[in-house]
Each structure stands twice: as C-alpha cells, then as structure tokens.
Amino acid sequence: MQEKVAQLLKKNQMSVTASRTKILELFLASQGALAHADIERLTNGFDRVTIYRTLQTFVDKGLVHTIPTADNSVRYALCKDECSQGHHHDDHVHFMCDDCGNTYCLDHIHVPAVHLPQGFVVKQTDVVVSGICSNCTLR
Amino acid sequence: MQEKVAQLLKKNQMSVTASRTKILELFLASQGALAHADIERLTNGFDRVTIYRTLQTFVDKGLVHTIPTADNSVRYALCKDECSQGHHHDDHVHFMCDDCGNTYCLDHIHVPAVHLPQGFVVKQTDVVVSGICSNCTLR
DNA sequence: CTGGCTTTGCAACCAAGTTGCAAAGGTTTT
DNA sequence: AAAACCTTTGCAACTTGGTTGCAAAGCCAG
Ligand SMILES: [Mn+2]
Ligand SMILES: [Mn+2]
Ligand SMILES: [Zn+2]
Ligand SMILES: [Zn+2]
C-alpha cells in the first residue's frame, strides 16, 4: 500500500515525502471529500501550512480537485485518471449531505449542458446538489 | 425613488435606516451581484460590520440571496418577488464572467433537474456556470 | 414628544489562508 | 555511500474575511 501511494506520487511528478504520502492515503481511504480541517484532525503533527501547500500541489498536479460548495467551504476529492497537470476534467455532479455533512463526487452523473442566451460563452459548469445522502436515508 | 426603496423595506418588515436604504438602492441600480467589498467601496462611511449585518438581514427577510461561486467568494443579488422570510425560490442558473468578474442571475434559465441514484433525496440544486458574459464577447 | 425596542459603530476577537526564511529532507550525481 | 543540489517543511508573522459584546444613537408606535 505505501508503495502504491509512492508510485502514484511519482507518476504525477512529485517527490515522495511523509506528508504527501499520509495525506494521499487519507484520500484513498476516504469515501467522500476532505476539508483542510479533516486532514488536520486525521493526521498528527503536520503543520497546517504544510497541509495547505500539499493540497495545493495535489490540485496543481491534477491529483485532486476542489469542490464548490453552497456554504463556501473548501473541500478536496481525488480526480479520476484523466486529469493531469493543468487539465482537470471533473465534469460530474457533487452532492452535499445536510445530515452527515459529507460531500461526494457522483462520478457517473455527468453535469447537464445548460443553454445560455446569445453572447454567453460557457467554459465550465458546476452543479452542486444538497439533500440527504443514501447512507443517511437508510437509517 | 427613495420613497420606493423605503416602501420595499417596510413591505419586507424592516425599519427604514440610512444603511439599508443606501445598500438596497445599490442593488436596484446594479446589473449583477454585489460582494461585501463592492458595497464598502460604493458607499462611504458605513462600518463594515453594519454592512455584514445589513446583508444578513436582507437574506433573512428574503430580499436578496447569496450566490455560490466557484472561487468561494460570497456574492449577493436581489431576489424575485416570490421569495420571502425563510422561503427562497431562486432556482435559476448563475453565471460568472472570467473576464469582467461580474456575476449574473440568469433568472429565466431554470436549473435542470438532476437525477440521482436510489437513496439520495434532493433538496436543492445549484448551477454556476463560468465563461465570458455577453457584455464581454461584444468587445 | 416620549419611551421602548432596534440598529449602529467601535473595539476586540476569531478563523482561514498566505508569505519569507532557515533548517531538514529527497533525489541525483559521483 | 557521500556530496551536492534542489525541494519541502515548520515556524512565526501577517493578511483577509467575518463575528461578537456593548454602549450610544436612531427608529417608530403610542
Ligand atoms: Mn468531484
Ligand atoms: Mn440569483
Ligand atoms: Zn449523509
Ligand atoms: Zn464579462
């Protein structure tokens, strides 16, 4: 496992360090998205600045993407393989559960094409849905 | 004009004060959404705390709504008449221009219904599109 | 006009995120 | 295996956006 994580870092052109390894492991083990605070809680000892910089590096390298949330908090989730340095292709719907607070990437739900009036050029469409997730309805 | 603004405040059950009047006038005069910083710049003398509290009151009373943005900045725009205290119905698409930075409510573009897997309960769907607005393509 | 409730301004506080820099760590070369 | 070189980390200090408590000022119904 550690080795797989190291390979993944190298594949994305990052040197293998303790914080990157640990934080990437957290993403691989997590079902949903992670916020800076989650990572600070789940690790012990890494400086918060290091966590900020690690997350930014992961975004830059195309390993994770940020998720726009209705409450303007910043969350991060693993990208699919198609993403790479400077080219993100995370065109899926995001879901935020009002009950458990988790945020999920609905990878197989593609964002619908929205048709805008004459003159508007669409570059990116973000869809964030909130409600109750499937875990929470089952209880 | 001042009088119309005062009426609008009263209709939404707010007392008429200088800051509320001025800030509401700004919204009525503005094409797009306003951020806290815009209001601070366009007014002179109101304490920033007053502006925060005024905006929050407007949201609470159903006069303006906040707009989820891809860059996690907070913007506010006037609601349509249907919104009221505790019941917002701003189910339209929002557009953010990468060029001029303006944010617009596309009131007549309704958010599409997204179909989610079994077990998910949808409460709200936010769609925010970014690209180039019609003003900026014309230049 | 008066009195009671609401709003404002100020100061202090808090949380999230950024920056500069020296020390420590990873990687490549020899 | 060590040296040299470049990258990353931790710390402290700072910035920005937002909140809170409270006394003074302002609104508005009676
Ligand atoms: Mn995602
Ligand atoms: Mn709107
Ligand atoms: Zn849930
Ligand atoms: Zn524009």
Locate the domains of chain A by residue range: 2-137
Band the pLDDT of A40: cuts 50, 70, 90: very high
pLDDT (tens digit per residue) in A66-121: 998 988 899 999 998 677 787 777 899 999 999 999 999 999 999 999 999 999 99
- Mean per-residue pLDDT for A38-62? 96
With H, G, I as helix, E, B as strand and everything else as coil, classify residue A138.
coil
Q: pLDDT digit string (tens) for B63-101?
A: 999 998 988 899 999 998 677 777 777 889 999 999 999
Instruction: Reduce the DSSP state of residue A123 to 3 states and report it.
Output: strand
pLDDT in tens, B29-51: 998 999 999 999 999 899 999 99
* Reported pTM: 0.90
Report, as an integer, the average pLDDT of B112-128. 95
A88 CA to middle of ligand 1, Å? 10
Mean pLDDT value across chain B:
93
Q: Measure the CA–CA gap between B32 and B51, rounded to whole angstroms.
A: 18
> Is CATH 3.90.105.10 the classification given to domain B2-137?
no
Helix (H, G, I), strand (E, B) or coil at A31: coil
Chain B touched by A139 (CB under 8 Å)? no
Per-residue pLDDT tens over the stretch A11-36: 999 999 999 999 999 999 998 999 99
Q: How far apart are CA B54 and CA B18, in angstroms?
A: 11
For B130, phi then psi, to 5°, come to -125, 155
* Residue A100 in contact with partner chain B when CB distance is under 8 A: no
Model confidence at A42, pLDDT cuts 50, 70, 90, reads very high
**HSE of A39 in the Cβ direction (CA atoms, 13 Å)?**
29
Asked whether the beta carbons of residue B72 and residue A70 sit closer than 8 angstroms, the reply is: no
B98 touches strand C (CB under 7 A): no
DSSP conformation letters of chain B: -HHHHHHHHHHTT----HHHHHHHHHHHH-SS-EEHHHHHHHSSS--HHHHHHHHHHHHHTTSEEEE--TT---EEEE--TT-BTTB----EEEEEETTT--EEEEEEEEPPPPP--TT-EEEEEEEEEEEE-HHHHT-
User: What pairs with residue A94 in β-bridges?
Assistant: A105, A128
Is A130 close to B123, i.e. CB distance below 8 A?
yes
Residue pair A135/A99 in contact by the 8 Å Cβ criterion: no
Residue with tokens 């008449």: B81
A102 in contact with chain B, both atoms CB, cutoff 8 A: no
Of B137, B68, B29, B27, which is closest to residue A116 (Cα–Cα)?
B137
CA of A8 from ligand 1 middle (Å) equals 19
Structure-derived torsion over alpha carbons of residues B15, B20, B95, B89, reported in degrees to the nearest 10? 0
